[in-house]
Structure 1
Amino acid sequence: MAEKRMRLDDAPLNKFHLKITALTFGAHFTDAYALGIISIALVMLTPQMHLTPIWVGLIGSSALIGIFIGSLLLGWLSDRIGRQKIFIFNFLLITVATFLQFFVHNAVELFILRVLIGIGLGGDYTVGVTMLAEFAPRKYRGSLLGSLEVMWAVGYAGSTVLGYFMQQSSPDSWRWMLVSGTIPSLIVLLMRIGTPESPRWLISKGRRQEANQIITKHIGPNIEVDETEVQNQGGFSKLFNKNLRIRTAIGSLFFVCLVIPYFAIYTFLPSILTHMGFKENFLTDLVLNIFLIIGAIFGIWCTDKFSRRGFLIGSFAILTVCLFLLSVLPSGSSALLITCFIIFTIVMSAVCNLTAVYTAELFPTDVRASGIGFVTAISRVGSAAGTFFLPTAIANFGVAYSMLGLTLVLLIGMITSIAWAPETKTLTLSEASNTETDKVKSQLKDSKVL
């Protein structure tokens, strides 16, 4: 009797799925580590290199600049030449550029290397999430993609702890801080050698036989890709046609409305905490980093428990209320302020799980990497803008009004999510990215918030 065929979306979870997930952790851990460690290293290298405020800002944002470039360029390229090649190239670039930081002599050299690191990270944000989404079974897609945010939080917290202790060792310890990222990136690079191509991408290019061989070897002999995965001709312009432009818009808007307050607040956390009456010290930063990790783990549970649309809208609502209270409550309300800040930290970290899960489900296979790359690039523009303008806003309007401005950003994210966000949780990856106008409208109409 012939064995019953099963769709790739419904395949049982196996060791290969866990391996792809572990390999995709690399970009999120390395991104968080690179962003966290540079903030500590800059304190030490600024007087040594006689950096002007402009160069401090450029070096501090250099990885974000690179992520913007890499997300657009390498995301588009992976839709053209395949996921696997870019999946390996990303960490080859990251590993080499990270190692060379040890030998820099001036700000220009460091800036260029960190932009290159950012390009690799941007490409891996795009291609890594795409690869994992295209292999992951529907039942476990949310958990696997959501776990990436946990690794981001671990990487950021790890860089804070390591940087704090390393800065006390020697005047040149900033070199060792920056080069320390070579170890995890090299491990990821070596482990990625031999990673197969995405079967969905192969089928979208008409290469079904190759796709079936990969599926049989790594997933199972009775597994097949949905028949709806057909050969398509994607292109960057397709993201803005009448069927996809709403999804491109909501993917960009919800992402950017989360990262603007996220990066702005946590980059200048000491100043904000001081305004609220809390003493700035290492322990405070460490405790909040722990809550970031707790929130990321909580987000995996929420991703499985709630609908994508409901989790997104509900989180925006909670974040908006918390940040509004943090803006208007007097500095003497210590207990209430710290409670709001903890809730804000946990929910913000939790909902950031959707930046990987939801974006992967919004776009069809032929432009999935381009779509994820575009919304990631937009998010980095937003995070850079928020980080750049917040100090000016605080200087001119004060912390309270600046926080109210960030509250407005969250409110915009909630409103646009209510208006446009489709539900994708219970669908196969091909169904989730179905862009027929009537089907999208039906999903919007019938979706429940929770």
Structure 2
Amino acid sequence: MQRLKKDYKKAPISSIHLRLYLAIILGQIACGYALGISGTALAEAQHVIQINGAWQGLLGAGSLIGLAGSALMGRLADQIGRRGMLMINMYLFALLSLAQLWTTNLWILFIIRILLGLMIAIDYTVGNSLLVEWLPAKESGKFQSRLIIYWTVGFILSYVSGITIHGFGDLTWQVVLASSAVPGLIAAGYRSIFRLPASPTWLAVQGKNKTAQKVIQKHLGKRWGLSLKLIKAKPADSISVTTLLSPKYRRQTLVGGGFYALQAFAFFGISIFLPVLLKDMHIGNQHISGLIYNACMMIGVLVGTVIFKKISRRAFLIGSFFLSMLALLALVIGSSLSSYVQIAIFALFSIILSAGLTLDYPYPTELFDDQVRASGVGTCITISRFGAASGTFLLPVLTGIGGARLSMLVCVVILALGGLICLLWAPETSPRFKKK
């Protein structure tokens, strides 16, 4: 009977897909908010406490360092499942956000930011795996590519909140940091009311075919079930870094982690400490320039979701790196240009780089098969967070040494390296453009 069921990955979009997608969307908004809020909060903190460029960088990078735990979270999810981790992480996320109200000790804040990053790692790694394991195969890439829109909404909301929250005196910067508890609680509450489904794919890979069939039929109806491939799947072995670096997965792991890390270096370094950069560049009103940059970030991800459907993944990757590199290089060598022209170039850079973010969710998941997906994606995210944390830590330090131009020149080199890696090794994963 099992073989007569239609493959659940070919089912049309239904309420369970949309409910799950909204649960992941709310988590993405919370994650984007928490990662973006540190820059404006720390800019405010400078007026209250003694904090040098190194500490600014460390606190800004703290949650990104925590995100380096994505590989661990991915392996854990491959062993114990996806649903339980996603049901609790946003509650812990909210508690850790609020904990930032109670201390000004920089070391304690640094530890809290790292723990926040671990909670974000669960949403990034486990949430994306659960989503791709439920969505119809033909719709998965499209839905994943749109997730960056909601992450960007959270990131931009953090900037707006950071420049509008006032009236708390010396506590204002801590209130700004702790405000990430609000989107966290919204995500946690939704997941408690509309409980997440287990992953049929994960259950099947664990040898629990009967349970998987029951989950599918509960949410999609009796005509749907596991594919023949999943029915015959052997229980998954423990996935290690050695497995992901074996000849079968080595290219996927290194390219997935490499492109993500180099892109994240430039994006997070510039975006989180945008107030610091704009102040040093002297290109008009900082708040207005920052809002323009963030608005263009949203335009970029919207443009990216359109481009994603039109061209190959490989061409998109290569183009986003080299074009954003050229835009940033023009800004570095155009210091004598008028403020309006510099803002226009900076806005163009924001659009191009942000468009490339559209690939961050679908591309790593497409690189790996069912048995290693959560571990593979988690490892790519871990590698990427080293890039993001490095960029976030180094930018305020480099700006202090040689100004904003030095920071941006380093980002130019990083983007060029990312483009070269993708040009040489990035595999094509798009069903439309992949060679049969």
Q: Which moved more, 1:95-104 or 1:369-378?
A: 95-104
Task: Give runs of aligned pairs for residues 276-287 of structure 1, distance below 5 A.
Answer: 278-287=283-292
Q: Which moved more, 1:417-426 or 1:204-213?
A: 417-426
* Aligned position for 1:218: 219
* Aligned position for 2:237: 233
C-alpha separation in 2, matches of 1:380 and 1:77: 18
C-alpha separation in 2, matches of 1:94 and 1:274: 31
* Aligned position for 2:18: 18
* Aligned position for 1:116: 115
Task: Give runs of aligned pairs for residues 366-405 of structure 1, distance below 5 A.
Answer: 366-394=371-399, 399-400=404-405, 402-405=407-410
* Aligned position for 2:128: 129
Does structure 1 conserve the Cα–Cα contact (< 8 Å) formed by 2:327 and 2:348?
Answer: yes
C-alpha separation in 1, matches of 2:90 and 2:246: 33
Letter matched to residue 235 of structure 1? I
Note the residue ranges of structure 2 that are not aligned, 5 or more in a row. Answer: none
Relative to 1, partners in 2 of residues 1:72 and 1:4: Cα closer, same or farther, differing over 3 Å? closer
C-alpha separation in 1, matches of 2:46 and 2:286: 21
Q: Which moved more, 1:343-352 or 1:401-410?
A: 401-410
C-alpha separation in 2, matches of 1:318 and 1:57: 27
* Aligned position for 1:430: none
Does structure 2 conserve the Cα–Cα contact (< 8 Å) formed by 1:270 and 1:280?
Answer: no
C-alpha separation in 2, matches of 1:398 and 1:174: 24
CA deviations on 1:44-103 (whole Å, 9 max, x unpaired) are 44554544555443322221122112x122111001111112112321321221233333
Does structure 1 conserve the Cα–Cα contact (< 8 Å) formed by 2:256 and 2:367?
Answer: yes
- Identical-pair percentage: 33
Relative to 1, partners in 2 of residues 1:52 and 1:301: Cα closer, same or farther, differing over 3 Å? closer
Does structure 1 conserve the Cα–Cα contact (< 8 Å) formed by 2:276 and 2:396?
Answer: no
* Aligned position for 1:358: 363
Instruction: Calculate the TM-score normalised by the size of structure 1.
Output: 0.87
- State yes or no: 1:328 paired with 2:333: yes
Relative to 1, partners in 2 of residues 1:44 and 1:313: Cα closer, same or farther, differing over 3 Å? closer
* Aligned position for 1:7: 7
C-alpha separation in 1, matches of 2:401 and 2:99: 40
CA deviations on 1:155-190 (whole Å, 9 max, x unpaired) are 121112122121345332334323332222122223
Once superposed, what is the RMSD of the aligned Cα atoms? Answer: 2.6
* Aligned position for 1:83: 82
Deviation at 1:336, TM superposition (A): 5.0
Relative to 1, partners in 2 of residues 1:422 and 1:115: Cα closer, same or farther, differing over 3 Å? same
Letter matched to residue 406 of structure 1? C
Deviation at 1:417, TM superposition (A): 1.6
* Aligned position for 1:150: 149
Relative to 1, partners in 2 of residues 1:288 and 1:199: Cα closer, same or farther, differing over 3 Å? same
Q: Which moved more, 1:38-47 or 1:90-99?
A: 38-47
Does structure 2 conserve the Cα–Cα contact (< 8 Å) formed by 1:32 and 1:152?
Answer: yes
Does structure 1 conserve the Cα–Cα contact (< 8 Å) formed by 2:265 and 2:411?
Answer: yes
Relative to 1, partners in 2 of residues 1:44 and 1:273: Cα closer, same or farther, differing over 3 Å? closer
Letter matched to residue 314 of structure 2? R
Note the residue ranges of structure 1 that are not aligned, 5 or more in a row. Answer: 428-441
Task: Give runs of aligned pairs for residues 265-284 of structure 1, distance below 5 A.
Answer: 265-270=270-275, 272-273=277-278, 278-284=283-289
C-alpha separation in 1, matches of 2:352 and 2:54: 34
Does structure 2 conserve the Cα–Cα contact (< 8 Å) formed by 1:138 and 1:426?
Answer: no
Relative to 1, partners in 2 of residues 1:220 and 1:296: Cα closer, same or farther, differing over 3 Å? farther
* Aligned position for 1:178: 177
CA deviations on 1:399-422 (whole Å, 9 max, x unpaired) are 545534322322222222222222
Instruction: Calculate the TM-score normalised by the size of structure 2.
Output: 0.89
- State yes or no: 1:299 paired with 2:304: yes
Deviation at 1:349, TM superposition (A): 1.2
